[in-house]
Amino acid sequence: MLTPLLRAGRWARAGLVLVLLACSGGVQAEDGYALWMRYVPLADAAASSYRARLGTVAIAEQTPAQQAASAELARGLGGLLGRAPPMAASVTATTGLVVGTPRSSPAVARLRQALSGLGDEGYLIRNVQVDGRNVVMVAAQQDIGALYGVFHLLRLLQTGASLDGLALREVPQVRLRVLNHWDNLDRYVERGYAGSSLWDWQTLPEWRDPRYTDYARANASLGINGTVLNNVNASAISLTPAYLEKAAALADLFRPYGIRVYLSARFSAPIELGGLPTADPLDPGVQAWWRDKVAQIHALIPDFGGFLVKANSEGQPGPQDYGRSHADGANLLADALAPYDGVVMWRAFVYAHDVPDDRAKQAYSEFAGLDGQFRPNVIVQVKNGPIDFQPREPFHPLFGAMPRTPLMLELQITKEYLGFATHLVYLGSLFEEVLQTDTRGRGDGPNVARVVSSVADGHALSGMAGVANIGTDRNWSGSHFDQANWYAFGRMAWNPQQRARAIATDWAAMTFSPDPAVVEPIVGMMMGSREAAVNYMSPLGLHHLMARGHHYGPGPWVDGGPRADWTSVYYHRADHAGIGFDRTTRGSNAVSQYAPALAARYGDPARVPESLLLWFHHLPWEHRMRSGRSLWEALVGHYSQGVRQVQAMQDSWASLHDRIDPQRHQQVSAFLRIQHEEAQWWRDASVAYFQSLNGRPLPAGEAPPPHPLAYYQALQFPFAPGDGR
């Protein structure tokens, strides 16, 4: 909570700050509040080497963004090096650090040629000679690029990198790097597992919690440049003047950190707030209402980012209520936003009223035909897979199907289907898996990363959205390891070609310790964790097997209710003879939504990756796997393997007992115990259920579930967190 002190950017106070940070790093900060920006003192040798390299620091403090960069440097260098290097108008020692833009720094201005092409957000970090002095230069065209560069430089120090031979040039590959907060305005976060909403709407705009600024710092450290404040299941009240003033207060705090505020817009707001008889996108009164509303927002939030919309999905209003298309709806808002450089992020996660033959096909069916019909300031936001953030899904077929429309990848950082906050599951691997998938299936790209990057298809817009896992919990994300998922989202949104392991390595070094004896086992745990969860929850391409409503724990028996596609049996289709969803040409033919080479591979049980086998195929229990085992044997084996993988994580973590501070070690240990218990529960309940269908004996060596199936089916959890109200 040093933010208020530091916000003024006064290096004169750095001495005091150093003492405090040293202390807080030693004990106080280890409640997780500091995230990956702990800035605890480096080992003496490293610190003095960096100090020698950064003799004087020259950074301007004229603009709010410059002040933010300067304050972060004071905090970071002060903490890491024991004391911050002296500050000067220019580098006066034989070595130094220069941070700036051509406008703020003569030394940077001389580099103008090298800055070409960096755009507003890019930066470079390199060693240069300035007046015979050996300088580390963090240079950018705009202040925000320099701030990003400062965070990058601090990361280099936190991870023990050399400051010699630097030739870093970073330009974000994605234009909109956005968090989606599923915030219901009453501080309840739908699918939130980290306490309540960060936004204290009741005390805004008067009280500006310093935590809002720390949130902005954390996002800026990753390059996240936008935040949607409220739930996609939106209340129109977020668009009333009182709530716009609250949003504007947050926008004021976020602006120095390069973060624009967006709002989820309820499509029927013209009726609910404006008293209009319709929300028809072709109605001139409706169009005027939105134009006026955007003008009103813009007067309060000059850099307002735009709207995110969930329409005609899960009961939300939308253009189809008036016989119009999603394009009509999106373009209505886009026209209102266009004068202000605002964008519409229109979600492709849609449901028909009628239960389809295969829900996996629905978004494609509704959107692929609209390609080319959207305004230039519309981007269609597509979830990573065609169902809904399952532990494993194939990539969404729309990513190969709308070349004339910019597509935004929506990832879920909060772990609705991956064990909530108490399961250690590193999502970097999941994100990488989808981003690296070749959309044509022939090995010659483009992969999904390229589709959602600005470089693809020449679109002006590009974007990645992450459904935030952030709340009021002291450690922000509900667990220490879930911070890594926020981190990985941000790093991959900046550059979707980055790899999960490298990101995990950075994160572990900054969050726990750069000591390889700490980093390596932690990265090992992280890199195996997602596959562990797939194994104990829904292996071999199974999906949507969780309990109803709250999604806590296994529910492969879920049946009945309002919609077949909200049940488990709809998805696994298991019976005495076999299991799996036939999406081949003989079944729902969802494979046809993919490029031909992929359709052929996915549609062939001999060629489809076994990790997606039952996503695309319905097979007999005795189906022979590549290992030679039967499908049933393999399935049970995966479930048990998942439990063992959690045990292995527990062992790794236990071995770090003396290298991790007690509070974080204890919490992670407790959560791993919960995860282990729940992994066993998933395994036992799932095995008991599927065995009740196929009547087969368990494979040799497999322990029978300790309870009868009825026991697992009877468990109820009315207070499981995150469920919609």
Binding site for its own copies (CB under 8 A): 1-2, 4-5, 16, 19-20, 22-24, 26-28, 30-31, 184-187, 195-196, 201-203, 206-208, 210, 235, 237, 420, 422, 472-474, 662-663, 666-667, 670-671, 673-674, 718-721, 725
The kind and range of the H/E element at 129 are: strand 123-130
Least distance to its own copies, CB of residue 59, Å: 23
Least distance to its own copies, CB of residue 273, Å: 12
Is the torsion defined by CA of 446, 448, 451, 454 positive or negative?
negative
Least distance to its own copies, CB of residue 407, Å: 34
CA–CA distances in Å: residue 256 to residues 146, 211, 214, 313? 12, 15, 12, 36
Half-sphere exposure of 659 (CA within 13 A, CB side): 19
Residue in 72, 366, 416, 531 annotated catalytic = 416
Nearer to its own copies, 553 or 642 (CB): 553
CA distance 362 to 206: 45
DSSP-derived secondary structure letter, 412 = E
The DSSP result for 573-586, as a single string, is ---SSEE----STT
443 CB contacts (<8 Å, ≥6 apart)? Answer: none
Strand ranges in 146-265 using DSSP code E only, listed in sequence order: 167-170, 176-180, 226-228, 260-264
Other Cβ atoms closer than 10 A to 467: 23
Nearer to its own copies, 196 or 692 (CB): 196
Is the torsion defined by CA of 367, 369, 371, 374 positive or negative?
negative
CA–CA distances in Å: residue 306 to residues 231, 378, 508? 14, 10, 35
Residue in 186, 292, 314, 520 annotated catalytic = 314
Nearer to its own copies, 108 or 668 (CB): 668
Tokens describing residue 261: 């505020």
Reply yes or no on whether 280 is catalytic: no
Nearer to its own copies, 364 or 417 (CB): 417
Half-sphere exposure of 131 (CA within 13 A, CB side): 11
Strand-strand pairing, 133-140 and 123-130: antiparallel
Tokens describing residue 446: 């483009």
Q: Which residue has the tokens 């969930």?
A: 310
Nearer to its own copies, 395 or 420 (CB): 420
Residue type, 272: E
254: helix, coil or strand? helix
Nearer to its own copies, 249 or 337 (CB): 249
Centroid of chain to Cα 121: 20
Nearer to its own copies, 147 or 668 (CB): 668
Reply yes or no on whether 416 is catalytic: yes
Reply yes or no on whether 44 is catalytic: no
Least distance to its own copies, CB of residue 505, Å: 27
Residue in 388, 457, 661, 723 annotated catalytic = 388
Strand-strand pairing, 167-170 and 226-228: unpaired
Question: Is-contact 419 534, C-beta < 8 A?
Answer: no
Nearer to its own copies, 365 or 663 (CB): 663
The DSSP result for 66-109, as a single string, is HHHHHHHHHHHHHHHHSSPPPB-SS--SSEEEEEE-TTT-HHHH
Nearer to its own copies, 225 or 230 (CB): 230
Nearer to its own copies, 4 or 458 (CB): 4
Crossing angle of helices 284-300/241-254, nearest 10°?
Answer: 40
CA–CA distances in Å: residue 521 to residues 40, 86, 486, 506, 656? 21, 38, 20, 13, 8
CA distance 512 to 656: 11
Tokens describing residue 693: 């269908």
CA–CA distances in Å: residue 530 to residues 59, 394, 511, 536, 593? 42, 15, 20, 10, 27
CA distance 202 to 449: 40
Q: Strand pairing partners for 344?
A: 307, 378
Nearer to its own copies, 41 or 119 (CB): 41
Nearer to its own copies, 353 or 725 (CB): 725
Least distance to its own copies, CB of residue 196, Å: 5
190: helix, coil or strand? coil
CA distance 121 to 531: 35
CA–CA distances in Å: residue 424 to residues 371, 581, 699? 39, 29, 28
Query: Which sequence positions are flagged as catalytic?
Result: 314, 388, 416
